[in-house]
Structure 1
């Protein structure tokens, strides 16, 4: 089994693409679990804040869940900002089939989208430690797939990921 790890700034389309991927893979008969950062924050990570150490712990916890689920035949799809490159690289060593999907989108586009109003609040100083504004986001150096979400539709991104999974012989 394998893990698809979608990383990118808030509003880049991680949740939308992960839902489309889940739908397609379920349709193909794969057992899967969708792990969304916002939902996990209300569950297994409700004790964590947004500082660097807590963000690293969040990635470690989710990575561990992926390892367990993959071991039991379940595909995992993760949509999590996961801003630190080193944390994601550690996952590559622990998860046998780790497929990193970088949801690349320019900050100016994200500022225009801002569906939750988070960028506006971060720029006003109302949110501390906001990735991409007051905290860093380290772009992946070698993702398996880069989806340019300001140029590609969610469906195009989904097709791109599915094609890469075929090339990697992870799906039929």
Structure 2
């Protein structure tokens, strides 16, 4: 485990009803992290309550106040470079939300154990006492976690050691992700629009249409269709499409768009329109409905969050039966091994790229409402000089 983590600490919040095995699992997690060299503080909700005396009762509002005390105590300790592992019921979503917002390194694990198993264990005699008094075993007002990092079935074939091992593995992954996010990105790449403005100002981008544009036009586009190209760049494919189709090109580089507009004016091309903007954002001037949305080498140049926005906009603007045409670098491309790592499958070389897993990408398309009609991944599709990347071509239908 990294020395950086030892300086910043973290919080592992293990929750579940009484009898779920929280304390046992928390003890195993704490010992495993100590063996990796981390300073760890193990806290147990019952011990903390006994330390705090009778200041907090057992009514719902007092339980919640106590849960907030636990949360803030954990944060204060972790800020001093200690990893806190706490076993607590604290069944309040607002407390867990505060945990996530106030801790840079936070893992929430819910031990989901059925009532009959918990009652059989009943280490504190709570369930027997409740049964005698005809009290519900599930306290009113308790809220099970809505978005835990882990849901663990701590019974049956799942031993406490196995549950603890899952928590430790997830914590390691959270550490690695945090470290990747902290790798500084050169300032020149922080403003991608500025980078692409400079790139297109040099007018060094290829002019002939890409092989993907030719492939789409010759095999898939229907007569009289309207094509929207996002991330059109210098318009190499947009101008090619305009020979036969109505075309709208959009790009976040104002320099590229102005150059394209001037070229369209000079060549008196009337069935083409260029829009300055980011397709992941709110943009005016776009058509309400199109037959095809096309993007080549764009999806891998934007973040995962922006990808979701782009795909959502594409689905909205496409007519029923309209198609989305994409070509992008995948996580099998050798370029992913170069440059500065700034996130999972994200690298910065001359500019930012996110190398995409095709299977996961297709799942995201399906979740939005697309049907994948065509998908291929290999080299030889997008050769340019000595560069022969492994890319995917994906065609999806609304």
TM-score under structure 2 normalisation?
Answer: 0.40
1:94 aligns with 2:102: yes
Q: What is aligned with 1:133?
A: 138
How far the C-alpha of 1:170 sits from its partner, in A, is 5.5
Runs (4+) of structure 1 moved beyond 6 Å? none
Tell whether the 8 Å contact from 2:105 to 2:174 is kept in structure 1 after alignment: no
Structure with higher strand content? 2
Q: What is aligned with 2:30?
A: 22
Tell whether the 8 Å contact from 1:14 to 1:80 is kept in structure 2 after alignment: yes
Q: What is aligned with 1:163?
A: 169
1:81 aligns with 2:86: no
Counterpart of 1:101 in 2: which secondary structure? strand
User: Residues 54, 106 of structure 1: CA spacing in aligned structure 2 closer, same or farther, 3 A cutoff?
Assistant: same
Distance (whole Å) between structure 2 residues aligned to residue 65 and residue 73 of structure 1: 13
Structure with bigger gyration radius: 2
Unaligned runs of 5+ in 2: 1-8, 180-398
Distance (whole Å) between structure 1 residues aligned to residue 30 and residue 17 of structure 2: 20
Deviations 1:39-93 (A, max 9, x none): 0011135311111111111111111111111111000011110112222112211
Q: What is aligned with 2:285?
A: none
Question: CA-atom RMSD, angstroms?
Answer: 2.0
Q: What is aligned with 1:123?
A: 131
User: Residues 168, 134 of structure 1: CA spacing in aligned structure 2 closer, same or farther, 3 A cutoff?
Assistant: closer
Distance (whole Å) between structure 1 residues aligned to residue 138 and residue 110 of structure 2: 18
Tell whether the 8 Å contact from 2:71 to 2:95 is kept in structure 1 after alignment: no
Distance (whole Å) between structure 2 residues aligned to residue 170 and residue 108 of structure 1: 38
Counterpart of 2:111 in 1: which secondary structure? strand
1:146 aligns with 2:151: yes
Distance (whole Å) between structure 2 residues aligned to residue 45 and residue 93 of structure 1: 29
Tell whether the 8 Å contact from 1:123 to 1:133 is kept in structure 2 after alignment: no
Tell whether the 8 Å contact from 1:9 to 1:137 is kept in structure 2 after alignment: no
Distance (whole Å) between structure 2 residues aligned to residue 66 and residue 38 of structure 1: 15
Tell whether the 8 Å contact from 1:103 to 1:147 is kept in structure 2 after alignment: yes
Deviations 1:94-142 (A, max 9, x none): 222221110100011111111221101012228x7x7x43434322111
TM-score under structure 1 normalisation?
Answer: 0.90
Match of 2:10 among 2, 9, 12: 2
Tell whether the 8 Å contact from 1:66 to 1:95 is kept in structure 2 after alignment: no
Q: What is aligned with 1:61?
A: 69
